[in-house]
Each structure stands twice: as structure tokens, then as C-alpha cells.
Amino acid sequence: MKILINITGVKPLYFDKGGAIQKLVGYQVDKLKREHQIIIVGEVAKRLRGAKIIVQKRRFSGDSLFSLILEGIQGFLKIRHQEADLIMATHPRNFFASFLFSKLKRKPLIAWEMDHNFWVGPETIVKKIYHFLISRADKVFTLSQIQKKRMISKGIKPSKIIVIPAGVDTKKFTPSKQKKEKYLLSVGKFIESKNQLILLKAFKKLTSQKKFEDYKLCLVGPISGAFTSPSTKGSEYYHQCMAYVRQEDLEKKVKFYQDLTEKKLIGLYQKAALFVFPSKEEGFGLVLLEAMACGCPCLANDIAPLSGILGEAGRKIDASQPEILAREMKKILLDQSLAKKMGESARKRAVSKFGTQVINKQFKELIETY
């Protein structure tokens, strides 16, 4: 079978920096290209055997209706002469082109929804049009039950929606025998829903106690608030976080990282004393899963879908209050046997429930129904 996968509008596939979309598409392409002909439309960062690449760069910034339509028309013109048995769109920025192509060729279209931002927040004309077009796809793949509920509320038929969780490469994201170091870790782009400011306030309370004054906090993620935006311009929320860091004299204790390679990120996961994920809203939460796979004890906000990923392998709390968050961090850091057990349980759950070998099999079986 010949499958066209459109990744236009996100960072290059196999780029070792970036967000969940690149990683998840990469995992599936590696598997699918062994048995099927794959056409990738977009940017690919390395030479890829067994797949045809049609280079299509994002040329219009922002997610306005005008830019999305222009992006879609340009993308359609680029691929209109291709032939495929199945089309997969991976982002709102490439869905319109994929939709037009599927109608022209009269072939099935799968909307592979990995960005939850178009399904939450205030309704806009762009979102309404996008929801209408998605409802015309043959199937919609999404990462979690909470995302499925959001889609149903926007008019997508339940029968069209299939939940396939994200997977993690547990041979790459693996524990280290190195000793844990005195730092807490959190990963996420700097937007208000990621809740880094609450974490900073909790960290301030924690390190005001003498026993924890040597601990550091590592915050990893693009300061722009988006993996596809210029990394040099900080978001408004990032500047709020920085203002708090300066106000509380935390400059020497809080480290900001962006554009980390995957190898360096894995190293941070492996040696962190605790991974903290206080996010208020997620479509899935891949970074939590990555931390679990690396054997890192995890503390997460008790919301769907994070609670479903973590299960009983970590601590789930109400992360809306810095006092509660600081108290739970303290409990785990004071009890080394508990932290060790949490890390081991997290690794075991990541491998058994979310390893790529498990998820890829489910994905492949669904694709081959076409």
C-alpha cells in the first residue's frame, strides 16, 4: 500500500529537537516503511531510505484563516500529481491540502490529531472551519480519551474517532546507573497552561528549607511558547516566569534550556531526582511518558490524560496550589526508597503499556484495514 503522510508546517522529521509530532510520526514511519511505500510531504532532517520525500516548507507564519488557506492551496499544488492509497494529515497547517488531495484522488483520509490546541480555548472562525473539515475525514486518530471527548463536543462523530496513545522508544529512553543529582526537572513550552509559574513558586517554598537549599530546577522547552516559533523571542508567559525568578533571587537555582538534542534531554531525565509535570491541560503528555521510561520518579497534576499515563506508578496531585506541590515534592525527596520504587514502577509501566513495540502494532493494524 502507498501511504502519503503530510507533515508540512511542523519542524523537520528526524530533527533531534522539537515536539511530540515529529517523534510520533518518526516512530510510525520507521515501522510502516518496512512493509509499505511511504511518501512524506514536508521537511526531513536526514536521508531516509525506503520513503519518497516531497520537500514542502512552511511559508506563511501564524494560524490565521488566510495563512492556512494559502498554505493548503500551495501544498495541494505540490502533491496533486502524486498517487496514494491512503492520505494522513498530521496538523491543522497541512490538513486542507491533504483534504483537497483526498477528494481529487477519491482516496481515504485520516486526520492524525496530535495538537490539542485547536480543540480547547475560545472558539474562532479558524477552529470552526477546521472542525467542519475534520468531520469530513474518513477516520480521526487521537492520543487520549479526553481528546476524543473534546472532538465529540465539536461535532465529530464518535464512530470516526480512534484513540491510539503515543508510544515511547524504551530502548532509547532508558534508565541510567548513574547516581541521581540534586535537581528537579520539568519539560514544556512556555505557555500559561504548562503551569511553570506555579512550579517556580513551589520550588521557592521547597528551597527556603535548609535541607533543600542545594537543589536546582531545570526547565526545558522553547521560551517562545511554540516548537515552531523563533526560539529567541520569549513569550509573555516566559517573561512572567523570568520576572518571578529575578524577584525571588532564584537566578542561580533555576536553569532554562531550549533546543536541547534528544540525547541531552535523555541525560536530564536519567539523572533528575524528580520529574514534575504541573500542566493544567494536555492532549496526551509525551514528556511525562519519556521521564517514566528513563526511570525518573514522577509527580504530575491529577488531570486527564496525565493520570491515565501515570497510573499508580507515580504521584498525582492538585497542582493548582504551590503549597501542595511543594509538600509533595518534599515527601518524595526525603524518602529515597520511595523515589527509587516510583522510578522502577514508572519504567515498568512505560515499557508494558506505552512502548513503541506495543503502540506500533496497534497503529499498523488500524492502517492496514484500508
C-alpha cell at 81: 500529481
Task: Provide the pLDDT for residue 154.
Answer: 96
In the sheet that 216-220 helps form, which strands lie side by side, from edge to edge? Answer: 254-257, 216-220, 181-187, 272-277, 298-301, 315-317
Say if residues 200 and 241 touch (Cβ distance below 8 Å).
Answer: yes
Using DSSP's 3-state secondary structure scheme, residue 2 falls into strand
Is residue 79 within 8 A of residue 41, CB to CB? The reply is: yes
Residues listed for the chain: 370
* 275 DSSP β-pair partners: 185, 298
Please give the sequence-ordered ranges of beta strands (E in DSSP) within the chain, or none if there are none: 2-6, 37-42, 51-55, 86-89, 109-112, 139-142, 161-163, 181-187, 216-220, 254-257, 272-277, 298-301, 315-317
Residue 315 near residue 300, CB atoms below 8 Å: yes
The predicted pLDDT at position 45 comes to: 84
323 close to 317: Cβ distance less than 8 angstroms: no
Buried/exposed code over 202-216 (b: 16+ C-beta within 10 A; e: otherwise): bbbbbbeeeebeebb
Query: pLDDT tens, 27-62?
Result: 899 889 999 999 999 999 877 788 999 998 876 666
Return averaged pLDDT per consecutive 10 residues of the chain, 370 residues in all: 93 76 88 93 84 85 81 94 97 94 98 93 93 97 97 97 95 96 97 97 98 98 72 85 98 94 96 98 96 99 97 97 98 98 98 92 88
Give the model's pLDDT for residue 234: 87
According to the model, what pLDDT value does residue 200 have? 99
In this structure, how many other beta carbons lie within 10 angstroms of the beta carbon of residue 62?
Answer: 8
pLDDT value for 140: 98
Residue (of 79, 16, 7) closest to 43 by Cα position: 7
pLDDT at position 227, please? Answer: 57
Record the pTM: 0.93
Domains, in order of start, for the chain: 2-167+355-367 (3.40.50.2000), 181-354 (3.40.50.2000)
C-alpha cell at 216: 536546582
Return the pLDDT at 80.
96
pLDDT, position 21: 86
Q: 66-118: per-residue pLDDT in tens?
A: 888 888 999 999 999 999 999 999 999 899 999 999 999 999 999 999 989 99
CB atoms within 10 A of CB 261: 11
What is the pLDDT, as a whole number, of residue 30? Answer: 87
In what helix (H) or strand (E) does residue 131 lie, and over which residues does it extend? helix 125-134
